[in-house]
Amino acid sequence: MTRILAISDPGTLADALAVLRRGQPVAVPTETVYGLAADATDPAAITSIYETKGRPRFNPLIAHVADIDMAKLHVQFSPLAEQLAEAFWPGPLTLVLPLSETSQIHPLATAGLGTAAIRMPQGFARELIAGFGKPLAAPSANRSGRVSPTTAQHVADDLDGRIELILDGGRCRVGVESTILAVNGSQLQLLRPGGIPVEMIEAATGKSVDRPAPPAGDAAVIAPGMLASHYAPDARVRLNVSEIMPGEALIKFGALPVEGEDQAKAVMDLSPTGDLREAAANLFGMLKQADASAPRGIAVAAVPEHGLGEAINDRLKRAAAPRPPV
Ligand code: TXA
Ligand code: MG
């Protein structure tokens, strides 16, 4: 059975390290979402992440590090990459950088690419990695294709009985996954919008960030997490609604009234004051809450596209995308 331990309990760190040292994954809170973490250098441990999530193996994992020295053992930093790490680590920014020759990150975690996605998380996750002494590979701690977890209970809802240990650190502060940025020489490419808005990256570096066009059809995937249908609740999702159909669950933004909301199965507001940070922190929890009301569909009001709105709208578009046949 799955144990849930509070990160504030003495002994939790040692228990978690013991599970990791046996090559098993542990669910751990980060500032973005809960991750399913395991030894990034151990093929069996990485395999158990893929199996637990039901994740396609061509979709590589982020290696999480405790400090910049640990990162430099595994990837090569250009001056621009170094500047980004200094500005935003620890924090919700993942850098895709060339692997170093000495890297111990296993090819199963990088899907055999010549690069690795690397990030330094905040809080308990970082302490755990420091204690472990090696990078931890960690995708979000949900079954593949489902909404990412922002509480320990969300993890349990998806993975209870499939993992040994969930570490409970309360609600994730940011609520959407890290921004993924490829650094190629002096070029910056946005592979996934996330917890650090593009505007902040541009302000810190003085460079503009390119947004590569999404690959058409089955073309090679740049960041495979960019699979169209992802973050899918059970109910169908409609976006940018100004009126709802009876029996739908409604997710509003900024306290703006929506026609027909009195007929809704459930009504939530991502942020009544229109604060995008609050909206990001509420997003996945409210999608799950809407789903739990067993609605005929989930209707979501428009969310502005600037700042964290880009990441919020990205996740909403994936939640609303046509589903592959099961
Ligand atoms: O906030 C986060 O990033 C969370 C927490 C747990 O840290 N993790 C997370 O991991 O979102 P995951 O596995 O759900 O997303 C990792 C993304 C995938 O879209 C994957 O394709 C991309 O990173 N990725 C990993 N390695 C890559 C590489 N070498 N090149 C391009 N994309 C890569
Ligand atoms: Mg994920």
Which pLDDT score, from 0 to 100, does residue 230 have?
Answer: 76
Counting from 1 in the atom list of ligand 1, the atom nearest the Cα of 115 is 29
**Distance from Cα 95 to the centre of ligand 1, integer Å:** 10
Do 152 and 168 form a contact (C-beta atoms < 8 A)?
Answer: yes
- Domains of the chain by start residue, with CATH: 3-210 (3.90.870.10), 237-320 (no CATH)
Residues lining ligand 1, Cβ inside 6 A: 30, 32-33, 35, 59-62, 92, 94, 96, 110, 113, 115-117, 121, 138-140, 177-178, 180, 191-192, 223-225
Residues with C-beta atoms within 5 A of ion ligand 2:
140
Which pLDDT score, from 0 to 100, does residue 1 have?
Answer: 85
Can you give the pTM of this predicted structure? 0.94
| Dist CA 140 CA 191 (whole Å) | 17
Which pLDDT score, from 0 to 100, does residue 231 have?
Answer: 80
* Ligand whose nearest atom lies closest to the CA of 74: 1
- Helix boundaries (H) for 161-272: 198-205
| Dist CA 182 CA 270 (whole Å) | 30
* Ligand whose nearest atom lies closest to the CA of 225: 1
| Dist CA 176 CA 252 (whole Å) | 18
Please list the pLDDT of the chain residue by residue as tens digits (326 residues): 899 999 999 999 999 999 999 999 999 999 999 999 999 999 999 999 999 999 888 899 999 999 999 999 999 999 999 999 999 999 999 999 999 999 999 999 999 999 999 999 999 999 999 999 999 999 999 999 899 999 999 999 999 999 999 999 999 999 999 999 999 989 999 999 999 999 999 999 999 999 988 655 544 445 545 556 678 899 999 999 999 999 999 999 999 999 999 999 999 999 999 999 999 999 999 999 999 999 999 999 999 999 999 999 999 999 999 876 65
Which pLDDT score, from 0 to 100, does residue 223 have?
Answer: 54
